[in-house]
Structure 1
Amino acid sequence: MGRMGKMEKKLLFLNFFIKYMLVEPPFLGLSAGKKDLLLPNGDHYEEDVGRFYSMMNVESVSGNTAEAVFKPYWDEYKRTVIDDVWFLKPDVYEFLTISGLILWDTGLDGLTDQGVEVCRAMREKLVGEIHFYYKNVKKVEDPCLRLGQIMMLLSSVQKSFGKYQEELQMCGFFEIYKNLDPETCQIINESLQL
């Protein structure tokens, strides 16, 4: 990563951050044996969508409006990422591999050829490590099949990321995030530009 410029590192982070925030809560829930979306501190996301958004102390959106506008985004997230995590039941090594593959995305606009090469090398290393793990530690009968199944989760995260960007734009329209700290707002706004 030392060979990458500051803007490329920022681009990788912004791309990674939101996608990681999509895949981590269902994995933490799976690890705890609960089909809840857990946060790293053990708290869970509010399941009542209208209440979740109206708790942000924003006058521009009521619970009913929030439910009507945002529930389709949450339903899509459940259908894609959450259900896939529960179907595949990745262990911690698979989760870390997925996280690494999200981070080292070779397809981002704005990466130099050298940046793409760094990402490609890191992805190859990750795939090699997980293949070794499947074959020699976990003793998976068909390591390539399992790797393919886990890779499908990447497309689920990507699809959900697109919907999440739409949701964030709607939150901006309703000024839902105006009470967040400025650094978080900046991350959200910059991630919308990807």
Structure 2
Amino acid sequence: MGESEVKCGVCNEDSDGFNFGAFSCNACAAFFRRIVSRNQVPQVKCPGNCDLHNHILRRICTRCRYEKCIQIGMKISLVRSKIPKFQLEILDELKEAYQELTDFRLATFKNQGSKLTYFEEMDEVCAVDMNLILNTMLKKFTKLTLVADDQLRCLITNFVVPFILTDQCYRSKDTNFIILANGNYVNVYDLDNHYQSTSQGNDEQKVKEAKLLLGPYWKIGRDLLFQKFKELKIDLNEYLLICGLIFWDFGLPNQSDQCIEVCLQMRTKVLEELIKYENSIRPPKESPMRVGEIILMLQMVQKGKTMMEEYKTISIVYDLCAKHCPLFRMV
């Protein structure tokens, strides 16, 4: 179907394109932009359901016309002159969600101490933690992102692995270990114990192969994100704003133009909050450098995700015991 055959979802005239989340003519798109920009929702002046195909009625009954715009999928957040406003800053929203995640972890794992963990336990903890993340952090990101469900799935799929990797690094930045969500740890400088099997059903030869073939990926991860978090001493606010930049990514496979536009808007807001935060805690000459260092970390996060994809490939090709890692469902 050619573009000229597509009708405006509001007035049924020929559509001029995809505007603010729906196909519409320029006149109805301009009407919607004008109403949203003025922040004035039209008052009810009729019984409703006016015939908007009638040129006169759609000019008179702005309420029915506005409601029809919303009904066909036009989104206030996509009006270029109005970046979405929330009761809280994005950082405050994310801090609220991360505190909820922390509370859920404490209630779920009930860990009274900290002990060395084996790879099998790490997989079990990760599987449980993914559900906790879904019900806290991802629930918050979903609330703040006005896009279609399939586009949310695209963003979530791209986000989960980088979030878990960076979250481990953030929680571990004051130690020489990787701290898991349940409070136990992995000694990244000595993987002998980590790859010992706690299950009698596991082939000890496979455990040795896992250590040999997958050990280098631990070293890369340690030297990449883990060390950078320690060197920069990333604090909670910086970490959560990094998460915002990771989630609202663009240029992803199957990502729509509408979703890209929303992500660019949200990234602009996140960067504004990051600059504002750094300006509030650092001398003027240091703040721009700090912002630059944090932005550069996004490249390391991407490398970490690529590393996990390679880790998955090696595990499957060599039929290693690590092939059941829950994160592999997301890469």
Structures share fold, TM-score greater than 0.5: yes
Separation of aligned partners in 1, 2:256 and 2:198: 40
Moved more, 97-106 or 36-45: 36-45
Larger Rg, first or second structure (1 or 2): 2
Matched, 1:39 2:184: no
- Separation in structure 2 between the aligned mates of residue 49 and residue 168 of structure 1, nearest angstrom: 18
2:148 pairs with 1:5: yes
CA contact (8 A) 2:176 2:187 kept: no
CA distance in 2, matches of 1:163, 1:56: 26
What residue identity is the alignment partner of 1:176?
C
1:169 to partner: Cα distance: 2.1
1:22 counterpart residue number: 165
Mapping for residues 125-140 of structure 1, pairs under 5 Å: 125-135=269-279, 137-140=280-283
Count of aligned residue pairs for this structure pair:
183
Distance 1:16 1:23, change over 3 A: same
Of 35-44 and 153-162, deviating more is: 35-44
Corresponding residue SS for 1:3:
coil
CA contact (8 A) 2:315 2:323 kept: no
How far apart are the structure 1 equivalents of 2:305 and 2:192? 21
Shift of 1:73: 0.8
Instruction: Report the alpha carbon displacement of residue 87 of structure 1 after superposing the two structures with TM.
Output: 1.3
The one-letter amino acid of 1:188's match is F
Residue of structure 1 equivalent to 2:316 = 172
Instruction: Look up the equivalent residue of 2:212 and give its one-letter code.
Output: A
CA contact (8 A) 2:210 2:322 kept: no
Check 1:117–1:84 CA distance in 2 against 1; reply closer, same or farther (3 A cut). same
Q: Which has the higher helix share?
A: 1
**Residue 110 of structure 1 aligns to a residue in which SS?**
coil
| Aligned-residue offset at 1:145 | 1.1
RMSD of aligned alpha carbons? 2.2
Alignment deviations for residues 19-78 of structure 1 (CA, whole Å, 9 cap, x no partner)? 011111121012xx2121112332212544354345374438533211210011111111
Moved more, 13-22 or 55-64: 55-64
Provide Cα deviations, 1:96-136, integer angstroms capped at 9, x if missing partner: 0111111111121111001001111111111000111111x
Secondary structure at the counterpart of residue 52 of structure 1: coil
Conserved? CA contact 1:131–1:147, under 8 Å: yes
| TM-score of the aligned structures, taking structure 1 as reference length | 0.83
Question: Could you say if the C-alpha distance between residues 177 and 35 of structure 1 is closer, same or farther in structure 2, counting changes exceeding 3 Å?
Answer: closer
Name whichever of 48-57 and 91-100 sits farther off: 48-57
Q: Residue 119 in 1 paired to residue 263 in 2?
A: yes
Cα distance in structure 1, aligned partners of 2:323 and 2:252? 29
Does residue 162 of structure 1 match 2:301?
no
Query: Shift of the alpha carbon at 1:2?
Result: 5.3
Report the equivalent of 1:98.
242
The verdict on how the C-alpha distance between 1:61 and 1:170 changes in structure 2, with shifts beyond 3 A counting, is farther
Ranked by relative contact order (alpha carbons within 8 Å, sequence separation 6 or more), the top structure is 1
Inter-partner Cα distance in structure 2 for 1:179 and 1:75: 21
Distance 1:150 1:127 in 2: 10
**TM-aligned CA distance change 1:83 to 1:168, over 3 Å:** same
1:107 aligned counterpart, secondary structure: coil
TM-score using structure 2 length: 0.51
What residue ranges of structure 1 are gaps of 5+ in the alignment?
none
Q: 1:109 to 1:178 in 2, by over 3 A?
A: closer
